[in-house]
Amino acid sequence: WWAGCSFCPPAMGGCVGGERIPGKSDGYEAGASPIRATSRASPLSLRVVFNRDHHPDAESKVIRSLAELLWLESGTDARLTTATCIAALNSAKAAQSEMLLDFAVPVVNATLHAPNETVRSTLWECFVLNAVRDDIAVAHLFYWSLRCVLTSPQATKETKKDAEVKLQEVTRTMAAQAQVTTALSRIKAANE
């Protein structure tokens, strides 16, 4: 079980990693340990290294796949890495819908900070927008995650502009859902 795991750019004072949990002999039930990222170009200040022999649970797969998107090295197939991440997120969503609630902020960070533009847009279009359409609670989490970026003093103008465009998409989707819900409730009331 992870404690204190987050994905934030170093400029925002964040890191990726796990915290030792009292009572656990190795401290990392998910089979991971934080190490310093070697590249100054890395969007994160710490990197998670997973134990290859450990069979990860759904949460570990999501963490690993999001980290891989943020550390995508040149020459790596971005489509495969992105598809793996989306599959892990969808699997986590199907297995335990509440788990997705914990990953709204890390997913927003990946859509704003992944070094590969194709990765950012694919993750946004193929996962975030679908999740927003499917679940109003998830939509609100993405909405507020993006709002926080807009008010963050550490966010660059470019990041804020990107977040604002994405926020408008989420807002439009939520408004459309509200209109459908209102129309359905009116139809139901008229039929009663």
pLDDT at 5: 36
**Is the whole model's pTM more than 0.75, yes or no?**
no
pLDDT in tens, 122-173: 999 999 999 899 888 889 999 999 999 999 999 999 999 999 999 999 999 9
Q: State the residue for tokens 């997913």.
A: 107
Q: Is the pLDDT of residue 64 over 90?
A: no
Q: By the 8 A CB rule, do 159 and 112 touch?
A: yes
pLDDT in tens, 71-88: 877 667 788 889 989 998
Single out the residue of 19, 29, 15 nearest to residue 59, CA to CA.
29
Going from N- to C-terminal start, the domains of the chain cover 10-191
pLDDT at 55: 61
Q: By the 8 A CB rule, do 143 and 171 touch?
A: yes
